[in-house]
């Protein structure tokens, strides 16, 4: 069992202007973010453009990140693929690369056949084959499939499945999972937009895009909650919502990378079909950053 308490940034994947992978920039971003009291890093989550990379590039990103992540900080690796076979292969290779746990997004293309039985079977096969713990990833905004509490709880029964990153934001469902899951099962908020509400329900932390550009604020919300300073935590939670929305559902990964470039990190381009943020939206983004940072 590994401890998932705390804040994890889902790292972006750096590309140059020709959209070639830049592992050196991934390492430098990790070094820069390691100045903060983060619990670890997620490599190749949704913000890491996982679906845009080929298999070789995914492995290159895993090894580059592991090289840069300091001892004592966790490396979580996104390994969800559409087939169980490919997910198992990438999960095993993430373990060989030094990941501490894998984050597995559910397959979603054949939604009509992906009932509870199929999803439980998929995750069980991955968990059985994995040499490291597995974390469920529910991301309906991207996958188009929102796993219900009953399905997640059935998946979570496997002994090698230790937690859930839920980006759906349905607090009632999150509360049910936290209440009814096996002892020690750890739930992480999938967005800074509902970090504090999730912590109040019993979540142990968060994997939040905002932690790439506002790590101090995300960590402070977590620490204030842990110290029982709820009024201060609630005030800061309200402040982060607008910028968080801008770099997630509103303008997405290109906006997050633009914000990183502005802060002296390496954002760079996103892979097409994702387009750069528009000029007028960039101006709004800069204003939101000035207000929070």
Say which residue the tokens 């690796």 belong to. Answer: 77
Q: What is the pLDDT of residue 201?
A: 98
Domain membership flag for residue 168:
yes
- Give the integer Cα–Cα distance in Å for 37 and 183: 27
What average pLDDT does the segment 55-65 reach? Answer: 98
Q: Is the pLDDT of residue 1 over 90?
A: no
Contacts 24+ apart (CB under 8 A), 223-231: 225/196, 225/199, 225/200
Average pLDDT over residues 177-202: 98
Q: How many domains does the chain have?
A: 1
Name which of 60, 76, 75, 69 is nearest 14 in CA terms: 60
Active site residue 165: yes
- Nearest CA among 160, 29, 44, 52 for reference residue 97: 44
Q: Would you state the pLDDT for residue 103?
A: 98
237 part of a folded domain: no
Residue 41 lies in a domain: yes
Task: Return the pLDDT at 121.
Answer: 98
* CATH number of 52's domain: 3.20.20.70
Residue 54, pLDDT score: 98
pLDDT over 90 percentage in the chain? 100
Q: What is the pLDDT of residues 257-266, one digit of tens each?
A: 999 999 999 9
Residue 183 lies in a domain: yes
As a whole number, mean pLDDT of residues 2-19 equals: 98
| Per-residue pLDDT, 83 | 98
pLDDT on residue 271 = 98
**Average model confidence (pLDDT) for the chain?**
98
Q: Structural domain of residue 12, as residue ranges? A: 6-228
Average pLDDT, integer, range 90-109? 98
CA 118 to chain centre: 24
* Across 11-19, average pLDDT: 98
Is 258 part of a structural domain of the chain?
no
pLDDT of residue 170: 97
Structural domain contains residue 266: no
- pLDDT of 32 reads 98
Whether residue 250 is contained in a domain is answered as: no
DSSP H helices, the chain, are 23-33, 55-68, 84-97, 116-129, 140-143, 149-156, 171-180, 195-201, 215-226, 230-245, 252-262, 279-292
Q: Which of 165, 170, 200, 229 is catalytic?
A: 165
Q: Is the pTM of this model over 0.95?
A: yes
Task: Note whether residue 252 is domain-resident.
Answer: no
């Amino acid at each position: 069992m590994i401890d998932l308490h705390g804040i994890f940034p889902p790292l972006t994947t750096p590309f140059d202007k020709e959209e070639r992978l830049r592992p050196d920039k991934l390492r430098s971003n990790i070094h820069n973010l390691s100045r903060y009291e983060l619990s670890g890093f997620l490599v190749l989550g949704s913000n890491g453009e996982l679906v845009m990379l080929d298999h070789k590039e995914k492995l290159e990103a895993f090894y580059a990140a592991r090289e840069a992540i300091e001892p004592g900080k966790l490396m979580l690796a996104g390994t969800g693929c559409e087939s169980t076979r490919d997910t198992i292969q990438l999960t095993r290779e993430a373990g060989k690369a030094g990941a501490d746990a894998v984050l597995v997004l559910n397959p979603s293309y054949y939604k009509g056949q992906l009932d509870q039985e199929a999803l439980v079977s998929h995750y069980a096969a991955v968990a059985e084959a994995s040499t490291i713990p597995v974390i469920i990833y529910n991301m309906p905004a991207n996958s188009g499939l929102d796993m219900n509490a009953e399905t997640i709880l059935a998946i979570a029964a496997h002994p090698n499945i230790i937690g859930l990153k839920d980006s759906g934001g349905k607090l009632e469902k999150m509360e049910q999972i936290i209440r009814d899951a096996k002892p020690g099962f750890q739930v992480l908020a999938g967005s800074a937009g509902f970090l504090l509400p999730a912590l109040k329900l019993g979540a142990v932390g968060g994997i939040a895009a905002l932690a790439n550009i506002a790590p101090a604020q995300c960590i402070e919300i977590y620490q204030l909650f842990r110290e029982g300073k709820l009024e201060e935590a609630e005030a800061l939670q309200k402040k982060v919502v607008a910028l968080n929305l801008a770099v997630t559902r509103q303008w997405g990964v290109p906006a997050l990378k633009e914000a990183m470039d502005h802060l002296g990190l390496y954002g760079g381009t996103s892979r097409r079909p994702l387009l750069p943020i528009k000029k007028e939206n960039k101006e709004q983004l800069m204003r939101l950053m000035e207000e929070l940072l």
